[in-house]
Amino acid sequence: MSRPTRQSPERGGARSRLLEAARDVIRAKGFAATSVDDLCGAAAVTKGAFFHHFGSKEALGVAAAEFWAETTSGFFAAAPYHEPVDALQRVLAYVAFRKAIIVGELAQFTCLVGTMAQEVYATSPDIRDACGRSMFGHTATLEADIETARRERGIAGDWTAESLARHTQAVIQGGFVLAKAGNDPGLARESLDHLDRYIRHLFHVTEEDVDERNH
Amino acid sequence: MSRPTRQSPERGGARSRLLEAARDVIRAKGFAATSVDDLCGAAAVTKGAFFHHFGSKEALGVAAAEFWAETTSGFFAAAPYHEPVDALQRVLAYVAFRKAIIVGELAQFTCLVGTMAQEVYATSPDIRDACGRSMFGHTATLEADIETARRERGIAGDWTAESLARHTQAVIQGGFVLAKAGNDPGLARESLDHLDRYIRHLFHVTEEDVDERNH
DNA sequence: TGACACATACCGACTGTCTGGTATGTTTGT
DNA sequence: ACAAACATACCAGACAGTCGGTATGTGTCA
């Protein structure tokens, strides 16, 4: 069925098409429930191509997590939340941005590495670690802004920028879980409102303060 | 292998042994990666017994979510965090309790319905909805204490008890995801510290206030 | 009290399909 | 000509689910 056309579009693109298919199909069905044939079908390539590029299904999982790390880091680096010159405003803009991109179908805005890590953490250490690198690599980029904001504003408190960055990620990931369980993206957005309120509290943001330096 | 002894222990116990096996095995391996034979092996029953009690693997998934709802609601109802007479102290004690039970192996303290919902939300609406009922049924029990605390303390703010109860669940679930990705239970506890701080902020808890009315 | 009917609980061999993976071609750019 | 990038055919095992059967109650009526 739907044999890939001979003289198929861009020869050499099988690997990236498989990674894109993995990103989309695994987010919808999960890693274990996604078969190699599913991926080949979605990417319009044959099994020969699959095992030419990836030594095993597990190796594809690792590659998919790394692909996710690359593409998302590019996506977030190009996002507009970096614009404010004030570091705290960047942090709050990050949270607002994360909320703003929660639209449409669940499988399109949820996190590949969160989903995969949850599923394979005990059965595939390689995939788990690749997911961990992607996730904590991302939190590290936020951590820098949090740390800067803290210094700029002279904020004390018994918490670290690292832990707050990770907490932010936890709220996002947890929001995805609730959104899936309740079949309602609004549940993910809701938790980000609480996170926003919490961060404003940590940085003693008053009502008048809010638009003080808004890009 | 390991044939269940004829005259096996408690005839009639196959169903509950399968549900307990499902609870443990699925939390470790995920739903899709857990085979019916895995469950039969773990429960020491045969396939005949499995399909006598459950019409399909999916039906077992639904039953496992319902079993989880029953056993955890009993567990939390009996937990000591209900002791404080002050509602806010009960809420904070709940968070502390959730943190305290995060010990040992990941598969032993993480949430079955969170794991399953994340995995099957798009492929099995029946399991997803059963997971949702379990999860939001639990948040509803916390919501009551939050609402009472809010009235007792005359707290305003643009948030609802319902949303805060769900946010609490999101932080817990997100903590589990990070703990799995980082292979470190401490990551789940860490987020609960932030949640505790956030709730104290919402209720204007001062340092002196803390042990004011401690059970 | 016991015999018969019936239901529930379980057993384990079997089946057809699907799975990840392999072995061996064929095409294509350089 | 050569290697990389595919395609095709195939395989052995695992998979969910089936089915005919047995063991153990449970209700009923003489």
Instruction: Name the token pair of A70.
Output: 């690359």
In angstroms, the separation between the Cα of residue B181 and the nearest Cα of chain A is 5
Nearest to B174 among A164, A174, A193 (CB): A174
pLDDT at A132 exceeding the cut of 80: yes
How far in angstroms lies nucleotide D19's C1' from the CA of residue B48?
10
Give the model's pLDDT for residue B12: 74
How far in angstroms lies nucleotide C11's C1' from the CA of residue B13?
15
Query: What gap in Å lies between CA A149 and CA A203, rounded to an integer?
Result: 8
Q: Report the nucleotide nearest the CA of residue A53, measured to C1'.
A: D5
Task: Answer with the residue of higher pLDDT: B160 or A4.
Answer: B160
A7 Cβ nearer than 7 Å to chain C strand: yes
Any domain includes B60? yes
Query: What gap in Å lies between CA A122 and CA B106, rounded to an integer?
Result: 9
Give the model's pLDDT for residue B210: 53
B4 Cβ nearer than 7 Å to chain C strand: yes
Q: How many Å is the Cα radius of gyration of chain B?
A: 20
How many residue pairs bridge chain A and chain B with CB atoms within 8 Å of each other? Answer: 176
B55 Cβ nearer than 7 Å to chain C strand: no
Any domain includes B116? yes
- A114–B177 C-beta distance less than 8 A: yes
Any domain includes A152? yes
Tens digits of per-residue pLDDT, A143-153?
Answer: 999 999 999 99
- A30–B123 C-beta distance less than 8 A: yes
Give the model's pLDDT for residue B117: 98
pLDDT at A215 exceeding the cut of 50: no
Q: Please list every residue in chain A whose beta carbon sits closer than 8 Å to the beta carbon of residue B197.
A: 159, 198, 202
Instruction: Name the token pair of A189.
Output: 């957005």
- Average pLDDT rounded to a whole number, residues A120-130: 98
Any domain includes B133? yes
How far in angstroms lies nucleotide C18's C1' from the CA of residue A129?
29
Identify the CA nearest to A148 among candidates A84, A96, A212.
A84
Nearest to B194 among A29, A136, A198 (CB): A198
Any domain includes B7? no
Give the model's pLDDT for residue A139: 98
Q: What is the DSSP string of chain A?
A: --PPPSS-SSTT-HHHHHHHHHHHHHHHH-STTS-HHHHHHHHT--HHHHHHH-SSHHHHHHHHHHHHHHHHHHHHHTSGGG--SSHHHHHHHHHHHHHHT--S-HHHHS-HHHHHHHHHTTT-HHHHHHHHHHHHHHHHHHHHHHHHHHHHHT--SS--HHHHHHHHHHHHHHHHHHHHHHT-THHHHHHHHHHHHHHHHHTT--TTTTTTT--
Q: Report the nucleotide nearest the CA of residue B8, measured to C1'.
A: C10
Q: Which residue of B has its CA nearest to A183?
A: B121
Tens digits of per-residue pLDDT, B130-175?
Answer: 999 999 999 999 999 999 999 999 999 999 999 999 999 999 999 9
- A122–B28 C-beta distance less than 8 A: yes
Identify the CA nearest to B162 among candidates B147, B180, B183, B181.
B147
- A33–B32 C-beta distance less than 8 A: yes
Query: What gap in Å lies between CA B63 and CA B56, rounded to an integer?
Result: 11
Any domain includes A189? yes
Q: Please list every residue in chain B whose beta carbon sits closer than 8 Å to the beta carbon of residue A176.
A: 118
- Average pLDDT rounded to a whole number, residues B11-29: 93
Any domain includes A208? no
Provide the CATH number for the domain around residue A195: 1.10.357.10
- Average pLDDT rounded to a whole number, residues A158-162: 97
Q: How many domains does chain B have?
A: 1
Q: Please list every residue in chain B whose beta carbon sits closer than 8 Å to the beta carbon of residue A117.
A: 177, 180-181
Any domain includes A39? no
- Average pLDDT rounded to a whole number, residues A59-65: 98
- Average pLDDT rounded to a whole number, residues B113-120: 98
The whole domain housing A158 covers 62-202
Give the model's pLDDT for residue B206: 80
pLDDT at B2 exceeding the cut of 70: no
